[in-house]
């Protein structure tokens, strides 16, 4: 991460910290292209576990949301159905998660194994009516991320092919961990593939700690 990106990341953290609770979110973009047949991005974070929704073959169906620890108004699908869902771009022919499945507004909750502070997801055809919420063990909302926060500048919402509206999104919580994630969409649809999760060291916290130690050292030298 160069200095400009670090400055932008800090600015994003400060903006996100305006919410009432102590949890902040760092948002970055980009992952690793898997090549065919997945093609679309997956996480680049070392040690993260990836859910690619490919356990069942396309011809046999894509399995149930329950088999992935998901409940609510959602479905595991492949391909595209006009007006309902659109496959992630780059000719991804694999199964993925879509929210909602049977009404124009709905949500689904994915229970993450263990406590984690990192979430990665391929967010396909990003819409301004898509959002996600990080929840604690009592289902309190720790933080919210909206489609408007992750779409690239000058990109049309819902564009099924533009790179700026089909992004691998990396979300890192500072000051807390989540137990589950709620995916919300007030329209068709919120398409998700390659969910990644991990509990990684918090670089922002370590950076702040490092600054504090440096300050103490400087004060001592002046005495």
Q: Which is nearer to Ca ion, 149 or 177 (CB)?
A: 149
Q: Does the CA dihedral 19-23-25-26 come out positive or negative?
A: positive
Question: DSSP for 176-193?
Answer: --EEEEEEEESSS-EEEE
Spell out, one character per residue from 173 to 212, where the chain touches Ca ion: x when CB under 5 A holds, - when not.
Answer: --------------------x-------------------
Tokens representing 192 are 């998700």
* Residue 131 interacting with Ca ion (CB under 5 A): no
Report CA-CA distances (Å) from 14 to 9, 76, 172.
9, 36, 13
Shortest distance, CB of residue 25 to Ca ion, whole angstroms? 21
- Please enumerate in sequence order all residues whose Cβ is within 8 A of that of 24, keeping only pairs 6 or more positions apart, or say none: 13, 16, 17, 143, 173, 174, 175, 204
The single residue among 24, 42, 53, 174 that binds Ca ion, judged by CB under 5 A, is 53
Residues in the chain: 223
Site residues for Ca ion, 90-119, by CB under 5 A, read 94, 96
Q: Which stretch binds Ca ion (CB under 5 A): 18-26, 52-60, 114-122, 164-172?
A: 52-60
* Residue 43 interacting with Ca ion (CB under 5 A): no
Shortest distance, CB of residue 183 to Ca ion, whole angstroms? 11
Tokens representing 77 are 């699908």
Shortest distance, CB of residue 151 to Ca ion, whole angstroms? 11
Shortest distance, CB of residue 3 to Ca ion, whole angstroms? 34
* Residues making contact with Ca ion (CB under 5 A): 52-54, 94, 96, 125, 127, 193
């Amino acid at each position: 991460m160069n200095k400009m990106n670090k400055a932008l990341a800090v600015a994003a953290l400060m903006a996100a910290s305006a919410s009432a609770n102590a949890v902040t979110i760092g948002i970055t973009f980009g992952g690793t292209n898997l090549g065919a047949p997945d093609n679309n991005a997956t996480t680049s974070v070392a040690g993260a576990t990836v859910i690619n929704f490919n356990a069942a073959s396309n011809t046999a169906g894509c399995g149930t949301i329950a088999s992935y620890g998901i409940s609510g108004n959602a479905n595991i699908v492949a391909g595209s159905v006009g007006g309902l869902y659109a496959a992630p771009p780059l000719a991804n022919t694999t199964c993925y998660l879509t929210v909602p499945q049977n009404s124009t507004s709905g949500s689904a909750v994915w229970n993450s194994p263990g406590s984690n502070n990192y979430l990665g997801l391929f967010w396909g055809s990003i819409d301004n009516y898509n959002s996600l919420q990080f929840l604690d063990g009592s289902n309190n909302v720790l933080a919210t991320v909206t489609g408007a926060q992750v779409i690239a500048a000058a990109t049309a919402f819902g564009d099924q092919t533009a790179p700026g509206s089909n992004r691998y999104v990396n979300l890192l919580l500072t000051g807390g961990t989540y137990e589950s994630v709620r995916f919300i969409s007030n329209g068709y649809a919120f398409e998700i593939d390659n969910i990644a999760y991990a509990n990684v060291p918090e670089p922002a916290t370590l950076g702040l700690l490092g600054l504090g130690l440096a300050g103490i050292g400087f004060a001592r030298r002046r005495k």
